[in-house]
Amino acid sequence: MGLPLQAHDVVLISGGPALRSFEKFKKASHDKYWGNFIDSALTRAAELKKEQPREDQIVWLVFRPSYTSRSSEDQQDYLKIIEERGAMVGLTPIYFDNKDQLFTLLRRDGSRDKPKISRLEYFGHSNKKCWMFDYSNRVDGGALEPLVVHVDDLEKISGSSFTPKAECVSYGCHSGEEFSQRWRMVVGRPMVGAVGKTDYSDGGMPKLSNGKEGSWVY
Amino acid sequence: MGLLIPIVLVLISPSLGWAPPLPLRTSPTTSQTETPPPASEEEPITATDEEIRKPLEEKVARATLPAAHTPAKHGETDGESWVAQRTMVEDYCGWGWIKKEKESWRQARWIALEGTREVCPLPHTYLPRPEDDKNYQYRFYGSFAPYRAYEPQADVWVDVFILKGFMSLGPAKEEIRRSPPAQASSGVNRFAERGANVR
């Protein structure tokens, strides 16, 4: 009788949507649909459930403040909808309100309570320098410092929180142009990211935008 | 002669462009309504897909009348104040320039503007479009935030002003022709020559 396999966590992170009051009149208008980063993460969760070892657990982290403010704007209870959609694939969202809370949630020691991370995937707004959880939500066209994971913040994420063969993916725009490389250097695990923009408008998993010579890179 | 006129009219009438004769009952006819629509080869959208992807109606509350205008005074308008001028830069995060009363516009700071819910929204939300108060001036009440905002197009950090109240000062005498900040958000990658953060 062998020892039970060590369980790991698969972490999916959903950033928040922009407010339409900021975006409505722009040429490149973001987030007409509020749930791009929710639906894509849940689509991926359903895929991963078929692939991953049974003992591993999917942990779904959702940036709450942007959904709260978008709820006020659209007069819909999006947090309730998020929880209902999560339940359809057997997931309960774990909310975080700023990047410090995210860093705490990512701090793992391999114990039963804090298993190491075997996979991490991000769905949300980004550019080559950072993940922007609240893009165009509290300020027009930008994101507030406590709600941005900038490349200079990556030293707050320890590589020892991940398994040696952990895989990471950022499905945000332009992550493959610098963020991925800095992640690999600082966190010590490879991260796939996009060169160019990513497009969530067709629903499900994001894809590289048409018309640009984009690619997925490490 | 009087009898000739109607006879001539009858003879030349086809060349006057009257409507062509109606088709006979036996003529083949086609009817749009009788043609069945071609069967779609695409798979029908399931109720679940429809429900998940259906975009919601825009519910942004914004003035729509041409006569809409920013109120002369709104929110908490006491305490320390700044003079601010709305300036719009294509694809650049931020609201415009802000300075103290006695400072020149050369000393002004570029800001991203953050409203305070249920106290003071941003002034341009009273207008049909965000650019409708371009080059207008305001007296702002509030404070600088302890945090900055990230401008993703130019990769810079900009100051954030938290607005508690404002007074409209009307159109500015001239546009501020000064570029907003453009320094990089991060310095040299100090991890480039160091090992990964595995500790």
Q: How far apart are CA A123 and CA B5, in angstroms?
A: 87
- Element (H or E) spanning B12, and its range? helix B4-12
Residue A133 lies in a domain: yes
Q: Which of A138, A208, A134 is closest to A170 using CA atoms? A: A208
Query: How far apart are alpha carbons B99 and B183 in whole angstroms?
Result: 21
3 state SS of A126: strand
Q: What angle do CA A20, A178, A39 make, to 5 degrees?
A: 40
Cα separation, B51 vs B43, whole angstroms: 16
Confidence of residue A3 (pLDDT cuts 50, 70, 90): low
Q: How long is chain A?
A: 218
Which class would CATH give B73-171?
mainly beta
pLDDT digits (tens, 9 = 90+) for B7-18: 544 444 444 444
Whether residues A145 and B92 touch (CB distance < 8 A) is answered with: no
- Centre a 10 Å sphere on the Cβ of residue A81 and count the other Cβ atoms it contains: 15
| Nearest residue to A17 (alpha-carbon basis) of A200, A145, A205, A180 | A200
Q: Is residue A70 scored above 70 in pLDDT?
A: yes
The pLDDT score that the predictor gives to residue B63 is: 61
Range of the domain at A189: 9-217
User: Contact B119/B142 with Cβ under 8 angstroms?
Assistant: no
CATH at A13: 3.40.50
Using CA atoms, how far residue B14 sits from B10, B23, B27, B125, in Å, is: 8, 17, 22, 67
- Whole-angstrom CA distances from A123 to A41, A52, A134, B76 are 7, 19, 12, 39
Q: How far is B114 from chain A (nearest CA, A)?
A: 6
Å from B191 to nearest chain A CA?
6
The answer to whether residue A25 sits within a structural domain is yes
Distance from CA of B37 to the nearest CA of A (A): 27
A31: phi > 0 → left, psi -120 to 50 → alpha, else beta; which? left
Q: Is residue A31 part of a domain?
A: yes
Contact A167, A48 (CB under 8 A): no
Tell whether A203 lies on the interface with B, counting CB pairs under 8 A: yes
- Count of domains in chain A? 1
In angstroms, the separation between the Cα of residue A99 and the nearest Cα of chain B is: 13
Cβ contacts of A163 on chain B, cutoff 8 Å: none
ipTM passes above 0.95: no
Contact indicator for B172, B189 with CB cutoff of 8 Å: no
- pLDDT tens for residues A83-118? 999 999 999 999 999 999 999 999 999 999 999 999
| CB spacing of A186 vs B147 below 8 angstroms | no
Instruction: Tell me if A119 is assigned to some domain.
Output: yes
**Rg from Cα positions in chain B:** 34
pLDDT band of residue B188 (cuts 50, 70, 90) is low
Question: Which chain A positions have a beta carbon within 8 Å of B185's beta carbon?
Answer: 129-130, 150, 152
Contact yes or no for A43/A60 (Cβ under 8 A): no
Collect all residues of chain A within an 8 Å Cβ-Cβ radius of residue B122. 140
| Tokens representing residue A55 in the block | 């003992």
pLDDT of residue A51: 87
SS (H, E, C) B61-95: CCCCCCCCCCCCEEECCCCCEEEEEECCCCCCCCC
Question: A4 lies in a domain?
Answer: no
